[in-house]
Amino acid sequence: MTVTERPLTTKSMLLNLGPSHPSMHGVVRFVLELDGESIVKADCEIGYLHRGFEKMSEQGSYLTVIPYTDRLNYVSPSINNQGYCIAVEKLMGITVPERGEYLRVIMSEIGRIADHLTCIGAATMEVGAFTAFLYYVEAREAIYDLIEAVTGARLTVSFGRIGGVKADLPDCFSNQVHKAFARTREILVECDKLLSRNRIFMDRMRDVGVMSKERTLAYSIQGPFARANGVDWDLRRDEPYSIYDRLEFEVPIGDGHCDNYERYAVRFAEMEQSMRMVEQCLEQMPKGAVAVDESGRELTGADLVEEAKRGLTGGVQELRVVADPTLNGTHRGQIEQVTNPDKHVLLPSKEEAYGSIEGLMNHFKLVMTGHGLHPPAGEAYGVVEGANGELGFYVVSDGTDRPYRVRCHPPCFPIVAAMSELLVGHMIADVTPIFGMVNMIAGELDR
């Protein structure tokens, strides 16, 4: 056999993408087998951010799990809080006051907007449009400001409480919402013009990462990813929890391409729906506690300050509410509106805890080891529609003050399981946009 007759031998290249790679968040690794630029085989390795959430949850009381849930999907923590609280509430059989439910939905939907903005922003950056990413981040800033106004934190909010939420909304919150949403919508329109019909962007996203509806179901993927693939399923509409059945909203579905562009479009459309939901909530929700003076006139925080300036503090002492309701210790009188007042779950306000022996005892009874919440032995599954799909918490109680088991069903786990299938046949350049639209959040994936 001469040299020219010999078959050309090619060797595939093994490329180790991550975990220290700019697009892999430092928390996931792909081992790619490449034929030139095309991917022949992809192997996804997870677990780099495993912090033992489930085991940690078994060590503390039911209340101490709430801050851990913030660290699951750290882009939309209020949804996680709600998911866990729903599970424990089911276990204990307690209800949430109406206003508390509305607050939960408001915070969840605001969190969802932040999550979607992060996801599509990062995906646009991964195809090289860095400017659009920063525009999205600016919109997210407006959203984060809202979260900060309500919870006092931007990332790890710990806003949920078993039986309700931590505190009421601040004064003039609905004005802030309208302002922030107006800015967000403006930016979304801008980015829509910049990207959605951009030839290069379309070429990069269309027909990339295609996954049929059947395969999506086979992997039991849910959330925006599945909706983009044509699975018409949204927990908020199909198994409404909280007060979602009172809201009017649409569930955006992909147009059958089942590709990255649809995922982008579905998330884009969902943000508008979330904003609609928040606006409806603000209109519908029952009025919270208000401060009134002796004649029954309603007083806002600003009025109280005005009164104090004029030296009219005598009457103020008689009032039930002091200044800002989001700060601990100043929400007496309001907390019952947003959290179940049952003494077995509600942490007393700081005023009560520091000011009266009953409050102090109540506080200790809830936070001391061996005391705390004692749900009856049993199990419950609390589920919410997370930003990435079904986010479930399975809580088992053995009747003590500690959860026997807390299992989290993370929405992006099945999608990451499908990554190898999504990637094969594409080029290296497609790895990052596909992975970006999966919106893997390592916190909830690895727990």
Partner 1 sequence: MWIDVAIKVGLAMVMMLIVINIAGIHSWVERKQSAVIQDRWGANRAGFTFRAPLLRWLNPVMRPIIYLGLLQPLADLMKLVAKENWSPVGGMKWLHASAPFFYLLFAFVGFSAIPFGDTLHVAGRDISLQVAHLNVGFVFIFAMAGLGVYGIVLSGVSSNNNYAFLGAVRAASQMISYEVTLGATVIGIVMVYGSLDLQEIVRGQGALLWGWLPKWGVFVQPLGCILFFTAALAETKRIPFDLPEGESEIIGYFTEYSGTKFGMFMLADFVETVMVAALTTTLFFGGWQFPYLHASGFVFPWGAQVAVGHYGVVAIQVISFLIKVVLFCWLLMTIRWTLPRFRYDQLMDLGWKRMLPVSLANIAVTGLVILLIEAL
| Cβ at position 134, least distance to partner 1 in Å | 4
- Interface segment toward partner 1; rule CB under 8 A; list 123-131, 147-155, 272-280, 299-307: 123-131
Residue 286 is a binding residue for partner 1 (CB under 8 A): no
Nearest of 102, 187, 209 to residue 429 by alpha carbon: 209
The residues in 32-91 that bind partner 1, with binding defined as CB under 8 A, are 37
Residue 130 is a binding residue for partner 1 (CB under 8 A): yes
Nearer residue to partner 1 within complex by CB, 261 or 413: 261
Q: How far apart are the first and last CA of the chain?
A: 58
Residue 430 is a binding residue for partner 1 (CB under 8 A): yes
- Interface segment toward partner 1; rule CB under 8 A; list 110-118, 133-141, 288-296, 366-374: 133-141
Identified binder of partner 1 from the candidate list 49, 191, 431, 445, rule CB under 8 A: 431
| Cβ at position 139, least distance to partner 1 in Å | 11
Length of the chain: 447
| Cβ at position 275, least distance to partner 1 in Å | 21
Identified binder of partner 1 from the candidate list 15, 63, 155, 217, rule CB under 8 A: 15
| Cβ at position 204, least distance to partner 1 in Å | 6
Q: At what angle do helices 260-284 and 173-191 cross, to 10 degrees?
A: 160
Q: Which two tokens stand for residue 417?
A: 């399981």
Local structure of residue 167 (DSSP, 8 states)? S
Identified binder of partner 1 from the candidate list 107, 125, 281, 391, rule CB under 8 A: 125
Identified binder of partner 1 from the candidate list 12, 21, 67, 213, rule CB under 8 A: 21
Local structure of residue 192 (DSSP, 8 states)? I
Q: CB under 8 Å to 27, separation ≥6 — which residues?
A: 19, 46, 48, 49, 442, 446
- Interface segment toward partner 1; rule CB under 8 A; list 1-9, 11-19, 273-281, 305-313: 11-19
Pairing of strands 38-45, 160-161: unpaired
| Residue in the structure block whose two tokens are 């923590």 | 77
Nearer residue to partner 1 within complex by CB, 186 or 238: 186
| Cβ at position 10, least distance to partner 1 in Å | 14
By the 8 A CB rule, do 331 and 168 touch?
A: yes
By CB under 8 A, how many residues form the interface with partner 1? 33
By the 8 A CB rule, do 117 and 136 touch?
A: yes
CA 83 to CA 5: how far, in whole Å?
65
Identified binder of partner 1 from the candidate list 432, 439, 444, 446, rule CB under 8 A: 432
Identified binder of partner 1 from the candidate list 60, 128, 152, 170, rule CB under 8 A: 128
The residues in 175-234 that bind partner 1, with binding defined as CB under 8 A, are 194-195, 198, 200-201, 203-204
Q: CB under 8 Å to 270, separation ≥6 — which residues?
A: 112, 116, 224, 252
- In the three-class reduction of DSSP (H, G, I as helix; E, B as strand; rest coil), residue 133 is classed as helix
CA 38 to CA 31: how far, in whole Å?
13
CA 225 to CA 416: how far, in whole Å?
11
| Cβ at position 18, least distance to partner 1 in Å | 12
Q: Which two tokens stand for residue 50?
A: 């495993």
Residue 117 is a binding residue for partner 1 (CB under 8 A): no
By the 8 A CB rule, do 439 and 263 touch?
A: no
Task: Reply yes or no: is the peptide bond before residue 22 cis, omega within 30 of 0.
Answer: no
- Interface segment toward partner 1; rule CB under 8 A; list 78-86, 93-101, 132-140, 287-295: 132-140
CA 130 to CA 308: how far, in whole Å?
50
By the 8 A CB rule, do 80 and 391 touch?
A: yes
| Cβ at position 37, least distance to partner 1 in Å | 5
Nearer residue to partner 1 within complex by CB, 13 or 323: 13
Nearer residue to partner 1 within complex by CB, 154 or 183: 183
Residue 259 is a binding residue for partner 1 (CB under 8 A): no
Nearer residue to partner 1 within complex by CB, 138 or 148: 138
Element (H, E) at 274: helix 260-284
| Cβ at position 194, least distance to partner 1 in Å | 8
| Cβ at position 278, least distance to partner 1 in Å | 25
| Cβ at position 36, least distance to partner 1 in Å | 8
Identified binder of partner 1 from the candidate list 126, 168, 385, 401, rule CB under 8 A: 126
Q: Which two tokens stand for residue 150?
A: 């309500």
| Cβ at position 133, least distance to partner 1 in Å | 9
CA 189 to CA 194: how far, in whole Å?
9
Q: CB under 8 Å to 216, separation ≥6 — which residues?
A: 225, 226, 229, 230, 231, 258, 418
Residues at the interface with partner 1 (CB under 8 A): 13-16, 21-23, 37, 124-132, 134-135, 138, 194-195, 198, 200-201, 203-204, 427-432
